[in-house]
Amino acid sequence: MNTVVCMKQVPDTETLIKVAGAGIVTDGIKWVMSSFDEFAVEEALQQKEKMKAGAVTIVSLGPDRAIEAIRTGLAMGADNAVHINDAGYYEKADPYATAAVLAAAIKGLQYDCVFLGKQAIDDDSGQVPAMVAEQLGIPVVTQVLKLEVAADKSKATVTREVEGGQAVVEVALPAVFSAQKGLNEPRYASLPGIMKAKKKPVDVKTAADLGITAGPATVVKEMSLPPARQAGKIIAGDDAAAKAAALAKALHDEVKII
């Protein structure tokens, strides 16, 4: 089974975001693989291991630094990668432009399944899976919690998260899947894996190489920070019961919620 994983390098979740104009201050940021993409990589590896055949290809749009996250995926066990290393395109890319260039790269590859995280944890848009599927002309199943591929690779049975529960759907392959937390436990890269990753092939392309010239469909005009929250009051009381009573009174009298 051949799979493609679309992966994005993003700031670590511990990052304190600072804004500048229409972007963020990137100095001092620790860049990592977006956490939902880790589930996507892991699922591709597990499916390949189950089928005992095929290759896992990582496709990522990002500047030079993105190679580190790509190598992490290769160290986990992916076989090869396409790095769309195009800082100019990347800086302006919205989900529409990102999907266009990812789909163009995927079109040149062999695949039964395309995996992505359900959203990148930087822009939190969650649009790229559906947009890649549209460009490829194949179905998409989002928020995947469990995936079983038929032995003949003609279809997959998928459990996906829906509001208030889960749905089981059957989808014809090839298809695009977006990974939700709970799909699997991503493995850590082993030391031999890290050594091997250095020698795995990474095909470097620009958006123009892939025939993509169209720009983004949405533009960020300005970034800002949320208003800082101030510490409020600590409820005083002799014991837990007294504090609970004072809190209940405040919720009733001040917040007016009870």
Partner 1 sequence: MPGTLIYAEVQKGEIKKGSLEITSKAKGFGGEVSVCIIGSGVEALAPELAKYGADKIYVVDAPDYENYVTEAYVQAFAQVAEQVKPSVVLASATAQGKDLTPAIAARLNTGAISDCVDLTKNGDKLVAKRPMYAGKAYAMVEAAADPQVISVRPNSFAAAETAGAGAVEKVAVSLDASKIKVVVKSLELAQSDEPDQTEAEIIVSGGRGMKGPENFKMLEDLAKLFGPTATTGASRAAVDAGWRGHAYQVGQTGKTVSPNLYIACGISGAIQHMAGMGTSKVIVAINKDAEAPIFTKADYGVVDDLFNVVPALINEIKKIKG
| Contact positions with partner 1 (CB under 8 A) in 70-109 | 94-96, 99
Give the x/- contact pattern for partner 1 in 6-25, rule: CB under 8 A. Answer: -----x-xxxxx-x--x-x-
CB neighbour list of residue 25: distance below 8 Å, 6 or more residues apart: 18, 19
Is residue 28 a contact point for partner 1 (CB under 8 A)? Answer: no
Shortest reach from residue 159's CB to partner 1, in Å: 9
Indicate the SS3 state at residue 49: helix
Figure out which of the listed residues 61, 78, 141, 147 binds partner 1, where binding follows CB under 8 A: 141
Calculate ∠ Cα 98-99-100, nearest 5°.
Answer: 90
Shortest distance in whole angstroms from residue 200 CB to partner 1: 28
Residue closer to partner 1 by CB (options 125, 206) is 125
Give me the half-sphere count of Cα atoms (radius 13 Å) on the Cβ side of residue 128.
33
Provide the mask over 172-211, with x wherever binding to partner 1 is found by CB under 8 A and - wherever it is not: x--x----xxx-----------------------------
Number of residues that bind partner 1 (CB under 8 A): 85
Q: How many C-beta atoms surround the C-beta of residue 217 within 10 A?
A: 12
Least Å from the CB of residue 84 to partner 1: 19
Which one among 81, 129, 184, 205 touches partner 1, defined by CB under 8 A? 129
Give 257's strand partners. Answer: none
Supply the minimum distance, in Å, between the C-beta of residue 77 and partner 1: 22
User: Nearest Cα to 28, choosing from 39, 40, 16?
Assistant: 16
Task: Please tell me whether the peptide bond between 201 and the residue prior to it is cis, using omega within 30 degrees of 0.
Answer: no
Question: In the range 31-60, which residues lie near partner 1 by CB under 8 A?
Answer: 35-36
What backbone torsions phi and psi does residue 171 show, to the nearest 5 degrees? Answer: -135, 140
- Give dist(CA 123, CA 100) in Å, integer: 17
Q: Given the structure tokens 């298809």, which residue do they identify?
A: 175
Q: Which of 157, 190, 201, 208 binds partner 1 (CB under 8 A)?
A: 157
Residue among 50, 65, 107, 252 that touches partner 1 (CB under 8 A)? 252
221 makes contact with partner 1 (CB under 8 A): yes
